[in-house]
Chain A
Amino acid sequence: MADRSNEQWLLDLQSASGSQSLALEDLRQRLQRGVFYYLSRERSDLTHLSTQEINQMAEDLAQDATLRVMENLGSFRGDSRFTTWATKIAVRVAISDLRRARYKDYSLDDLTAEGDTLPAGATNSVTGTPTIGPENETERADVMQKISRAMEEALTERQHKALVAVALQDVSLDTLAEEMGTNRNALYKLLHDARRKLRSHLEAQGLTTQYMLDLFRQD
């Protein structure tokens, strides 16, 4: 595989001659190798797949990523190696694709129906689960009640839904943005504002950042 400078990559990929198809193939192979490494070494959720299956996934994703790179070629600023920039695009394609598969049936209605949100009272957080040390149970339960109340009082319904989905359900911003009819940047700001409001609300009650982090990190 030819080792090209950034300028050479751009020239070849935009060339009208045969060097374009060669560069495209080099790029696709390079992205496939990176994606394969990521899927096979870094994704614990894919360990049940055979090498052949992962290789097939990597091949498909690299194909999509190559197209995406070509569509965005004009936005490459030359501030990194071209292949690093292209690999970033490939990684985004891979992660988005895996997330879409994971959340393809996700709905905010399901989330609400499951009731997997903050409990009205925190006492149920310790029922039957020995995860919280008894010496801090009461203190944590008290704080959880305050968090729960703060979420009800300080947040809009939209902020509440978004925070619960992201913080407790690990729902991706892309999936949630689509579900909420917004985009990822707007959602990020919505969440940022929600966290800030909650933090102010709780700090006004004497619950400082350090106190909260310490309390919930104690074993």
Chain B
Amino acid sequence: MMHDEQLRKIVDHIFQAHPEGVITCEECDRQLHCLAEKVAAGASLSELWPEVEAHLDCCPNCNEVFQALVSILRAETSGALYAADN
């Protein structure tokens, strides 16, 4: 049985074919760490590299890595990284 959340998921997946063209996971990965540093410092991904942002919208794998990396970098800057294991 499909629930509302599932309906949204399938609709999102169908309509998220990004118009900028396909960026593969490999291409995305090559930029991910540089972009994560900039986003963690306050830059906007959509302004930096919209194609990568479009890829992240469609690719949960790369998106998860990107979000995790940004989160760790921010924690490093704020000092929370060092507080976490105390």
Contacts and interface: CB of A to CB of B under 8 A. Distances in A.
Given A38-B71, A170-B60, A188-B24, A95 B7 contact: no
Contact of B71 (A42, A80, A84): A42
Contacts of A188: 22, 24-25, 59
Interface residues of B, number: 46
B2 A88 contact: no
A142 to B, nearest CB: 13
Given A36-B84, A192-B17, A196-B17, A144 B22 contact: no
B31 to A, nearest CB: 9
Contacts of A173: 25, 59-61
Nearest to A171: B60
Nearest to B84: A37
Given A36-B85, A131-B4, A192-B58, A199 B71 contact: no
A104 interface: no
A125 B2 contact: yes
Contact of B72 (A37, A163, A184, A198): A37
Nearest to A42: B71
Contacts of B4: 125, 129, 131-132, 216
Nearest to A132: B4
The number of chain A residues touching the other chain, given as a range, is 35 or more
Contacts of A63: none
A84 B84 contact: no
B13 to A, nearest CB: 4
A189 B22 contact: yes
B64 A167 contact: no
Nearest to A115: B1
Interface of A: 33-34, 36-38, 40-42, 55, 79-81, 84-85, 87-88, 91-92, 94-95, 118-119, 122, 124-125, 127, 129, 131-132, 140, 144, 147, 163, 166-168, 170, 172-174, 184-185, 188-189, 191-192, 195-196, 198-199, 202, 209, 212-213, 215-217
23 contacts: A33-B82, A37-B71, A37-B81, A41-B80, A88-B65, A91-B68, A125-B3, A129-B3, A140-B7, A147-B10, A147-B11, A163-B10, A163-B13, A166-B13, A167-B12, A168-B6, A168-B9, A172-B60, A172-B61, A173-B60, A184-B25, A188-B24, A189-B22
Interface of B: 1-17, 22, 24-26, 29, 32-34, 36-37, 58-61, 64-65, 67-69, 71-73, 75-76, 80-82, 84-85
